[in-house]
Amino acid sequence: MAARGARLLLPATAKALWRWYAVLLLANALDLLFTYVAAERGIEELNPMLRPLLLTPWPTIVKSVVLVLLAGSLCVIARRDGSRLPVLSILRGAAFVYVALVAFHVVGLLTRTV
């Protein structure tokens, strides 16, 4: 139940939040998968911060924790009036970035021969 005086998001807005979260979740999973496939094929990781951690469990752990925290935050936001917050735009933007990153991985994997 929403707090006194708080308004629930419109169902369409809440659905849009969860749809874009699903896109972001899938794109993150594909990013991680394609990163490991590239590493397995001998392609060097371009991210200097990720490079020393790539073959450890940390990338998966960090992505999982961040995505779970984001889902929890979306649950809270969906129960409140988020009309003044640009949450949907930010979520959509993050999803587009990760979809572009997945496309970069696919192009790189298809054009790179080792």
State the pTM of this model: 0.80
Q: Report which of residues 100 and 76 the model is more confident about.
A: 100
User: With 80 as the cut, is the pLDDT of residue 83 above it?
Assistant: no
Asked whether the beta carbons of 89 and 19 are under 8 A apart, the reply is no
Average pLDDT of the chain to the nearest whole number: 85
Residues 6+ apart with CB under 8 A from 55: 39
User: With 80 as the cut, is the pLDDT of residue 100 above it?
Assistant: yes
User: With 90 as the cut, is the pLDDT of residue 24 above it?
Assistant: yes
DSSP label at residue 53: G
Report the distance separating Cα 62 and Cα 17, nearest Å. Answer: 22
Measuring CA to CA, how many Å separate 111 from each of 38, 108, 114? 12, 5, 10
